[in-house]
A and B are shown apart, each in its own frame.
Chain A
Amino acid sequence: QSVLTQPPSVSEAPRQRVTISCSGSSSNIGKNAVNWYQQLPGKAPKLLVYFDDLLPSGVSDRFSGSRSGTSASLAISGLQSEDEADYYCAAWDDSLNGLVFGGGTKLSVL
């Protein structure tokens, strides 16, 4: 059972927009910024969004992040087949004094 809650899976058609939610608590998302990672099949995770809504160099602007209260979201617009991957949110937890991940969301592009 992960500290951060994500939907196990989402699906959407190509060229559409999808959002992935990440729900936490006052000790993690309520106080600390959220980072998002993309993990393609058989690969190491890749930083996708950091500090809630910042994109690392080289990441497509089709990806965007937001945080409000104790929840965060990752949005992907203009879906492409190459976006099929697992997506994880993560944040520091002040109560646990450690980092916590979400359970991951598998994105299928229909």
Chain B
Amino acid sequence: QVTLRESGPALVKPTQTLTLTCTFSGFSLSTSGVCVSWIRQPPGKALEWLALIDWDDDKYYSTSLKTRLTISKDTSKNQVVLTMTKMDPVDTATYYCARIRSGRPYDFDYWGQGTLVTVSS
């Protein structure tokens, strides 16, 4: 049974760095083709893709946020970590992690329940 769960602070201050952890089970990120991605959704708005890491440790980032994002994995712990620097109120959103089972077309077949992050002083 595949599950993913996001964890991290619910509230961060402007200019701070956000660190989110995706803890998963039921699959291995060392299996060829498997990837984990982060997606966010501001309240009442659309989904926005943030970053992706694959089984081979290749990393891909949203062009608009690339300078602020870092994605990494700990295969032994079944975790993927996303850091986002210089947080701003516009970064207030629900952050999801999701699994890609086999590379392209990069379809997210399992999602976490999401974690709401509010950026406010």
Choose one: B60, B61, B62, B108; the contact of A37 (CB below 8 Å): B108
Complex contact B63–A98 (CB within 8 A): yes
User: Considering the chains assembled together, what is the distance between the CA atoms of A100 and B47 in angstroms?
Assistant: 9
Residues of A within 8 A of B111 (CB): 44-46
B113 proximal to A (CB < 8 A): yes
Which chain A positions have C-beta within 8 A of B63? 96-98
User: Would you call the interface of chain A mostly helix, strand, loop, or mixed?
Assistant: strand
Q: Is the CB of B108 within 8 A of A32?
A: no
Q: Find the B residue at minimum CB distance from A43.
A: B113
Q: Decide yes or no: A101 and B49 within 8 Å by CB, A44-B114, A45-B96, A96-B63 being known contacts.
A: yes
Q: Which residue of A lies closest to B110 (CB)?
A: A47
Query: Which A residues touch B48, using CB under 8 A?
Result: 101
In contact, A99 and B46 (Cβ under 8 angstroms): no
Of the 9-residue stretches B9-17, B20-28, B72-80, B99-107, which lies at the interface with chain A? B99-107
Contacts of A88-108 to chain B: CB distance below 8 A: 88, 90-92, 96-104
- Within the complex, the shortest CB–CB distance from B67 to chain A, in Å, comes to 14
A51 & B109 in contact (Cβ 8 Å cutoff)? no
Size bracket of the B interface: 20 to 34
- Whole-angstrom distance between the Cβ of A92 and the nearest chain B Cβ: 6
| Chain B window 66-108, contacts with chain A (Cβ cutoff 8 Å), 1 for yes, 0 for no | 0000000000000000000000000000001000000011111
Interface residues of A (CB under 8 A from B): 2, 32-35, 37, 39, 44-47, 50-51, 56, 88, 90-92, 96-104
Other A-B pairs, 19, CB within 8 Å; known A39-B47, A98-B63: A32-B104, A32-B105, A33-B104, A35-B106, A37-B47, A37-B108, A44-B96, A44-B111, A44-B113, A44-B114, A45-B96, A47-B109, A56-B109, A88-B46, A88-B47, A97-B63, A99-B37, A99-B49, A101-B47
B contact set with A: CB distance below 8 Å? 37, 39, 46-49, 52, 60-63, 96, 104-109, 111-114
